[in-house]
Copies of this chain bind each other. A is one copy, B any other.
Amino acid sequence: MRARVLIRPKAGILDPQGVAVERALPALGFAGASNVHVGRLVELDVDDAAQLRPMCEKLLANPLVEDYEVQLLDDGG
């Protein structure tokens, strides 16, 4: 099955990419954006969805500084 993992900096952990984006947007004429966070997206096919959380803990995310969210996708998307 197709799965998606969303990986974000934990609350309170420095998110320099998010800060950079939030500062750059007004300079490009986009007002009103706030609370910007940048993380990683991993999409993969797996045989066993139960492996996804261990995969995150061991490889995909750094659980010390990142939170992750696993989504199972119905179709191939």
A10 within 8 A of B: no
Chain A 18-44 interface mask (CB, 8 Å, partner B; 1/0): 000110110010111111111111111
Interface size on A, residues (CB 8 A): 34
Tell me whether A40 and B38 are in contact (CB under 8 A). Answer: yes
How many subunits of this chain does the assembly comprise? 2
Query: Do B30 and A54 touch across chains, with their CB atoms under 8 A apart?
Result: yes
Closest approach, in angstroms, between the C-beta of A2 and any C-beta of chain B? 8
CB distance from A32 to the nearest CB of B (A): 3
Residues of B within 8 A of A21 (CB): 42, 44, 59-60
A residues with CB within 8 A of B = 2, 6-8, 21-22, 24-25, 28, 30-48, 51, 54-55, 58-60
